[in-house]
Amino acid sequence: MSALDGLQAEIESFRAAGTQIIAVSPDSQAENRQVAQKLGLEFPILSDPDLVLTRAMGLVHEKGGMEGEDIPRPAIFIVQDGTVRWRSVTDNWRVRIRPEPLLAAVKQVSGG
């Protein structure tokens, strides 16, 4: 199960916690649309092929890709009232947070 599958599997739990999921990927809009359709995702995947957002957020892992290309660091943010309340960032593109600890962090941040 991929990280996106895991988030989708728990989508109702996230919704019940008042959370909206938005993914950001360096892939093209067409590729992200295909992934979303294939996995039946009920949340958007935004495209950042030039890493503009990734760079603005300080999340570029320079030369971290398999061919030495710049890639985004896997990151998750919980934003509440326009403020980052919690985050998880890693240098390993293979490491993704599981839905259970993310839901626990959402509940902690929201006080529920």
pLDDT tens digits, 43-93:
999 999 999 999 999 999 999 888 999 999 988 898 888 888 889 898 777
Radius of gyration over every alpha carbon of the chain, rounded to an integer in angstroms: 14
Kindly give the residue spans of alpha helices, DSSP state H, lying in the chain. Answer: 3-9, 11-16, 29-39, 52-56, 99-110
Please state the pTM of the whole predicted model.
0.83
What is the CATH architecture assignment of 3-106? 3-Layer(aba) Sandwich (3.40)
- Phi, psi of 93, deg, nearest 5: -65, -15
d(CA 98, CA 83): 23
Structure tokens at 43: 């949340």
